[in-house]
Structure 1
Amino acid sequence: MTDPGFDGNNGADPDTLEKDGISFAQQAVTCDQHNKHSMAIFFYTEAAQALLNAAMSGSKMPGIVDKAQQYITRAEELKKINSRNPQAMNQTMSSHQCDMERAKFLLKQAFEEDEMGNGQEAIDLYTEAVELCLKIRNGTKDAALQEKVKKLASQALDRAEDLKKKLSPKSEVTPVVTPTNKPMNSAGKVVPPLGFGAFAGSDDEEQGSQGSVPNVTRARSQKGTSGVINVGRNAYTKEEIDVLRITSDVNGRLYVPFLSVDMKERFAFPVPFSDKDGKLALSPKQKQNFGRWARPEDFCDDPKMIIAVSSFSIRQTIVSDCSFVASLAISAQYERRFKKKLITSIVYPQNKNGDPVYNPCGKYMVKLNINGVLRKVIVDDFLPIDQHGELLCSYSNNRNELWVSILEKAYMKVMGGYDFPGSNSNIDLNALTGWIPERVSMSNDIFDKDKEFKRILDRFHKGHCLVTMATGDLNDAEADRAGLVPTHAYAMLDIREVKGKRLLMLKNPWNHLRWKGRYCENDLTNWTPELQKALNYDPKSAQMFDNGVFWIDYESLIHFYDVIYINWNPELFKYTTCMHSTWQAKEGPKKDRYNISDNPQYRLELKSNQPSAVWCLLTRHITDKNDFADNREFIALLVYDTGGKKIFYPHDPPPYKDGVRINSPHYLCKLIENKKNATYTLVVSQYEKNNTIHYTLRVFATCEFSLTKIVDPYKKQYEKRLTGQWKGATAGGCSNYPDTHKNNPIYQVKIDNSNTDNCVLIELFGPKEYSVGFEVVCVSANVPGGFTKTTSGDFRRGYVVLQLDKISGGIYNISPCTFRPLEEGPFFLDLNSSVPFTVTQIR
């Protein structure tokens, strides 16, 4: 693979963590001095965490652990003070403060529209700001506040009037309306609904959070901002647009693809925004404790979207989304560690630096990778709280910080509500970041524990991947002894190999409850002085503060955990493309054990003279949250080394790459190729297919390649299905039984032309318990030189196929049979031709 250029230091950068710790400590002291205890507690805790992690990462700062202990101690003291004064923990904003914040936000948005030359939009915002300022002035007796809002209103009004004068009538655009009341542009063309029109031929291209997953167009050899080249056609086909349209309806709500026009979404309003889709469904535990829906000003005194992007401040509550919270934690750690925006870039509104900001008007937009493309998700800022004012959703330890709760709400909205049954971190991280999901089962017979540890150790510290771990089923007694939660996701914050010991640092999304086995904070036997020094880890300091973070040895991890979820940075691959398609339920058999001729197939051609890495990701689109709780759709992607030819039989030839069908929405197939200019056939496979599935096939490669869908040249031209049966004398068996074989059914096909390049595909479908086949006899050819007799080859259970290429016009007899005589049953004989034909049954 190519190296994307991340540094390969061993663990988080200690210098960066030291600077974070010092900065947090300074803010904590300032808040402490001004009796802002809640903020001081947050910053003291963050400072301690940063310094302890710097110590574990090799920091040489004198007394760093002692400093961290002092900050922890002070935070605990302030918590005790606040526990005696509950009001100090629950300061909120007054209604005048809320109105002032909205007025300032309206003015700020107006200024930005003004600067960009959007005159009419700026006028509207200035006017709304003026009206809100007048409302504030009339609703207060505070003379200073009245004077302040009067001044703001005057400035806004003056600027709005200036803009109105500049917008002459000639420059104004008059909306054109068709007789059908459909909006039209100045050229008289109907504006397409839902933003899908841009998919058909727009030159605009929207990049994912890492700039590698396009969702509008796939310009040939067009280089994105990340250096990833998107290869393929210039625009999506009608079929692809239909797929994306259909799977925009998720859990009964519409989530359209994210287009560049969405960057102009309006977020400022004179009154608080409320989501037209209503409140989210609550989980059973939330309902038991529910008090009311509240906005940030109801439980914050100074709301902010982000104060510190920290993995340690994230806390899961009673929503069953541990995998999502674990995903947030490692994404936050990545942002801080590599100073590269990963998830904060997907939240809007944003300031000019691209940082998400608090919106006092209550509207947010989150860009999530859902069902094959980036999609926009709109939410308001209503959050569930209990009777005591405590949040009933995931949140930051800093009550004034909202990014955790807003991101969770957006994802839960797509997933159908807070009563979400749960998923896994592969799915959640892909939705948040677009990074490539890989699932590694530690209980699999082919699991190579040594190789896997080395791979993760190397790639994690280079910034190539994000990693979470999930426990398996544990009984109550075992879970209690181990300090672990059954079937629970944990974020991996670090991985080390020191003095022959292989250790991983994990975080429980609950922010408490830690591992109790080897290398826990109470295990002073294994934490030798030498090992403590090598990792700069002080178990006694860790004992003071349970934040759910712990070290565990690799052998214990393998014993108690079941799955490793790895999401890979797509920037590791220089080239990528994707296709969106549908596989109808009626196409092909329910089980593809005998016949895969109707399975979706693709030709993958690599253009390289050196070893290359090619990863193929199959993503099944999910539109109902019940698919997570009771998913019976098992998918896989098979690879055949056949030069890109269509495949008819699943095991003839055997797959070059086979795999276990899984009921996850994502299936990853990895190829590391040494052959020059290799060409493969990719086949979508599904076990016991009952329903129509919509899917996305995305290919990532370190070399140039082309991906094209294999279209059967015979299908949808001239086709006919014949229904027949073997019964009594007509169940004559194969040619090994000449006395009865002559009695098998015969169908005569006539191709009335003198061409020599005719193509015919013949398929025979019979009972799965019988081996079937057929022979084709040329009765008369319009052009001499063709074949006299041919067969479908080896007899096969339930299905055989024969392609006749470059045959001349003439008359041909087709005789289907079972291998043995007296094997009775129905059959279908499907004929597909490139030219017109007639067929009659002559026996």
Structure 2
Amino acid sequence: MSIAEAESSFINNIHVPLATSSPSVPYTTPFTDPDGQPPLPFPSTWIRPINPASSLPLLPSDIIQNLVNDCSVCASIAVSIQHNIRFNSNLLLSSLSSSHAGRYEFKVFVNVIDDQLPFDSNNKLVGVSTGPKNQLWPSFVEKAYMKLMGGYDFLGSNSAIDLHVLTGWIPEHIDLRSASFERERTWSRIMAGFPRGTLLPSTSPQYSLAIGDCMMTVGTNDKTALNIHTVKLLPSHDYAVTDIKETNDERWVTLLDSTVCSSDRVLDIRWDDICATFEGLYISWNPSLFASRVTFHGSWQLENAEDLPRASTHHLRLNYNDPAHQKAPPELTTDNGNGKDSTETEIWILLTRHLRDTRRTSEYIAMNVQEDDMVLGDPEHVALKSNYTNSTHLLSRIKTSQFQFQTQSSGSLSLLACYDGQFDQVGFTVTAFAYSSDVVVSWDTRVPPARYMQKIDGVLTHKSAGGNCTHPTYMANPQYHLRVHTSTSASTDKRPSTSADKTRVILTAQSTRDISLNVTAVWSQGERISELSQKEVVAHSGPYTYGHARVAAHLAPGDYTVVLSAFEPDQTGKFTLKVESSSRFDIKAIPQEGAGMYVKTVRGEWDSTTAVGGPSQNRYHHNPVYEVTIPCASEFGARLQLLARAPGVSTNLSLFPSSSPTLQRCIASSGPYSDALSGVDIAKRGMSPGKYYLVPSTYHPGVCARFRIVVYSGVSGIEVVLRSGGD
């Protein structure tokens, strides 16, 4: 047993040992739990039930929620009963055993309780009950779970988390409000996996699955109570899903409300209404779906750590091998959207934070999983992945690269398991699942530390936080000149550079959990870039992730620009950028545009009289003209930017001597008209003292828009004034 496992056997200062097959010690007198009774939020009396239980089979609708706010537990018990009815699976009951004399063991770990249950002053159970059937095992399951969670007044949960504790099934939380939610694919997955009492036709000779591999509930948010088809829904409430079905023209979900004792407790709601009304879908997946799995136990050690970001992040590498190119069953996958079979293999990875004290509410975890040495899609397709949560579980479903599987049958995944909280030592478990025994997953323990490493501390300020690449301020983000040197082995070989000569480079950015990060490497001469060009991107960390970003790639020797950015321009705070490499490298900050120079900003607009277009329109001199006065010889530069994004609007900025009032002789220009999001600029150059005319223009006439011009000068006292009176 690992240290992390042993320490995690203590929850809320109660020893809950790992389950064993050892028989319980027989008791001859009524057993009383030496740990005491789980706390209750109101006065109650603990009584040993004496009425005999009914022999009638228990139905999901028999589960009644009473005074305790434990809707997720009631929903979990209800969906387990439904699964037992359809599949004789004996969920929950198989984990509850009695040694008589009022002593019960529930194999969450080994959680011992006595048979006393809480009743109110009217002799009514305050926890879950089963009405006239008087079956007690749901009450004992609830009590065992409440003991584990610190009492009947616990802070709330969801059924996926509850069922993971109660049954070991894999929890998945789907945010129905997320922009990335896909209702059609989700429906296909749950239809393939939900229990319907039939067999799923085998899609591979390697396995045959009974449909019954998921249980689920739906939950509302904490806002005002909602109505759906005249039915009042409760806020922050879990509803058990007891059936899903498709008719000729509609898709239906059957819900059970454990707080209602009438026929109104069963609700048939359309799938589209579920997606529009509820906040979350909580799915529990049968772990027996997966023939191959591997588990890692670890801990975040923050006490006396010299490098807190490093101590709060654990890096793992997972190898996978799929020589037969096995395809997963439909409930485990999402198709590629074109009706064709995908050659991608899906691997599930579950991060679980160990519980020590269920009253802690300020602990957060995150997980970043990506395939090693891959350029992750189009960097101009910006996405935000919000994955810091105070939940105890995070599930990531990873599709391995289709391209990689066309060329080889193995690969590796890089995992970052992250913690943000106030406590010195927190245990965690990472479990990787693959559906077929032919797909072998294993932890790579042979990865040596990088030979070269450098860490840079920085701050995203209001001036340097430029946001993602869809913002014109992207160019203001912190940028670094990375020079990758030729490896020692390659330097003694005169052959042309090949892939074998490339250097493995890892870029890792970390910040607080409220800042979403991305790190991108661009092929360049180590100069500051103003915007991303997909053909020049050699590696980027994928969707923006809160608190951390990581990318690993093999880079040829040369000069690169590394850009660290937050998702929005107003996200500010400290960050750390770490570079690791198998070969020698240099990295240094690239100064901001105009760094060390005096800056003057003017704002203007093209209106109905000044939006006259470029020189080819023969009215160029009617554009806004700014008189620039340079008091002495100095370096000079300027940038023109639109104040509001206007796709397709090409602009130019040109400089003329005052001796050319009709703007016939240009001495500096931003170049061809461009619709670059970052605007256009006159590169820094030396200028003699005197007066000049600075002219912003659009290529086409009639484009009314507001703009700003930022002027940089090596000396103070430069003046920029709008010239009046046309020519």
Find 1:553's aligned residue among 233, 253, 270: 270
Q: For residue 273 of structure 1, what is the amino acid of its counterpart? A: F
After superposition, give the CA deviation of every residue in 1:273-312 in whole Å (9 maximum; x if it has no partner): 01110121112xxxxx635210112xxxx43597533212
After superposition, give the CA deviation of every residue in 1:449-492 in whole Å (9 maximum; x if it has no partner): 23323332332145121011112234257589532211100101
Distance 1:563 1:796, change over 3 A: closer
Q: Which residue in the other structure is 2:5 paired with?
A: 244
Distance in 1 (alpha carbons) for counterparts of 2:78 and 2:49: 22
Q: Contact conserved, 2:480 with 2:588, CA < 8 A, in 1?
A: no
Distance 1:338 1:385, change over 3 A: same
CA RMSD of aligned residues (A): 4.2
The equivalences for 1:246-285 within 5 A come to 246-261=7-22, 265-266=23-24, 268-283=26-41
Q: Which residue in the other structure is 2:222 paired with?
A: 473
Structure 2 unaligned runs (5+)?
197-211, 328-345, 401-405, 461-477, 495-556, 566-574, 597-727
Q: Which residue in the other structure is 1:418 paired with?
A: 152
Q: Which residue in the other structure is 2:627 paired with?
A: none
Find 1:762's aligned residue among 434, 453, 460: 453
Distance 1:632 1:479, change over 3 A: farther
1:364 partnered with 2:104 = yes
Structure 1 unaligned runs (5+)?
1-239, 284-288, 350-358, 369-374, 513-544, 716-758, 824-843
Distance in 2 (alpha carbons) for counterparts of 1:498 and 1:795: 52
Q: Which residue in the other structure is 2:319 paired with?
A: 604
Pick which of 479-488 and 414-423 moved more: 479-488
Q: Contact conserved, 1:763 with 1:799, CA < 8 A, in 2?
A: no
Distance in 2 (alpha carbons) for counterparts of 1:413 and 1:450: 39
Q: Contact conserved, 1:596 with 1:649, CA < 8 A, in 2?
A: no
The equivalences for 1:474-553 within 5 A come to 474-476=223-225, 478=227, 482-512=231-261, 545-546=262-263, 548-553=265-270
**Could you tell me how far 1:364 is from its partner in structure 2?**
0.4
Distance in 2 (alpha carbons) for counterparts of 1:376 and 1:243: 17
Distance 1:800 1:651, change over 3 A: farther
Q: Contact conserved, 2:84 with 2:91, CA < 8 A, in 1?
A: yes
**Could you tell me how far 1:338 is from its partner in structure 2?**
1.1
Distance in 1 (alpha carbons) for counterparts of 2:36 and 2:362: 31
Report the secondary structure of 1:312's partner residue: helix
**Could you tell me how far 1:316 is from its partner in structure 2?**
1.2
Q: For residue 356 of structure 2, what is the amino acid of its counterpart? A: T
Distance in 2 (alpha carbons) for counterparts of 1:394 and 1:774: 62
Q: Which residue in the other structure is 2:411 paired with?
A: 679
Distance 1:280 1:253, change over 3 A: same
Distance 1:291 1:303, change over 3 A: same
Distance 1:273 1:315, change over 3 A: same
The equivalences for 1:48-59 within 5 A come to none
Q: Which residue in the other structure is 1:581 paired with?
A: 298
Q: Contact conserved, 2:302 with 2:308, CA < 8 A, in 1?
A: no
The equivalences for 1:245-394 within 5 A come to 245-261=6-22, 265-266=23-24, 268-283=26-41, 290-297=43-50, 302-304=51-53, 308-349=57-98, 360-368=100-108, 375-394=109-128
Distance in 2 (alpha carbons) for counterparts of 1:558 and 1:814: 48
The equivalences for 1:81-480 within 5 A come to 241-261=2-22, 265-266=23-24, 268-283=26-41, 290-297=43-50, 302-304=51-53, 308-349=57-98, 360-368=100-108, 375-398=109-132, 400-462=134-196, 463-476=212-225, 478=227
Query: Which structure dedicates a bigger proportion of its chain to helix?
Result: 1
Find 2:388's aligned residue among 661, 673, 676: 661
Q: Which residue in the other structure is 1:44 paired with?
A: none
Distance in 2 (alpha carbons) for counterparts of 1:559 and 1:676: 43
Q: Contact conserved, 2:172 with 2:283, CA < 8 A, in 1?
A: yes
TM-score by length of 2: 0.56
**Could you tell me how far 1:633 is from its partner in structure 2?**
3.6
Q: Contact conserved, 1:792 with 1:802, CA < 8 A, in 2?
A: no
Distance in 2 (alpha carbons) for counterparts of 1:305 and 1:253: 34
Query: Which structure dedicates a bigger proportion of its chain to strand?
Result: 2
Q: Contact conserved, 2:301 with 2:311, CA < 8 A, in 1?
A: no
Report the secondary structure of 1:551's partner residue: strand
Report the secondary structure of 2:162's partner residue: helix
The equivalences for 1:639-718 within 5 A come to 639-642=369-372, 660-673=387-400, 676-686=408-418, 688=420, 690-691=422-423, 692-703=425-436, 704-709=438-443
Distance 1:347 1:690, change over 3 A: same
Q: Contact conserved, 2:367 with 2:417, CA < 8 A, in 1?
A: yes
Q: Contact conserved, 2:319 with 2:441, CA < 8 A, in 1?
A: yes
Report the secondary structure of 1:695's partner residue: strand
Distance in 2 (alpha carbons) for counterparts of 1:461 and 1:603: 32
Distance 1:385 1:712, change over 3 A: same
Distance 1:440 1:587, change over 3 A: farther
Distance in 2 (alpha carbons) for counterparts of 1:795 and 1:588: 28
Q: Which residue in the other structure is 1:106 paired with?
A: none
Q: For residue 47 of structure 2, what is the amino acid of its counterpart? A: A
**Could you tell me how far 1:342 is from its partner in structure 2?**
1.5
Q: For residue 767 of structure 1, what is the amino acid of its counterpart? A: G
Distance in 2 (alpha carbons) for counterparts of 1:253 and 1:659: 34
Report the secondary structure of 2:79's partner residue: helix
Distance 1:767 1:489, change over 3 A: same
Distance in 2 (alpha carbons) for counterparts of 1:460 and 1:814: 53
Report the secondary structure of 2:101's partner residue: coil
Distance in 1 (alpha carbons) for counterparts of 2:90 and 2:135: 18
Q: Contact conserved, 1:587 with 1:599, CA < 8 A, in 2?
A: no
TM-score by length of 1: 0.49
After superposition, give the CA deviation of every residue in 1:472-517 in whole Å (9 maximum; x if it has no partner): 23425758953221110010111122231322211111243xxxxx
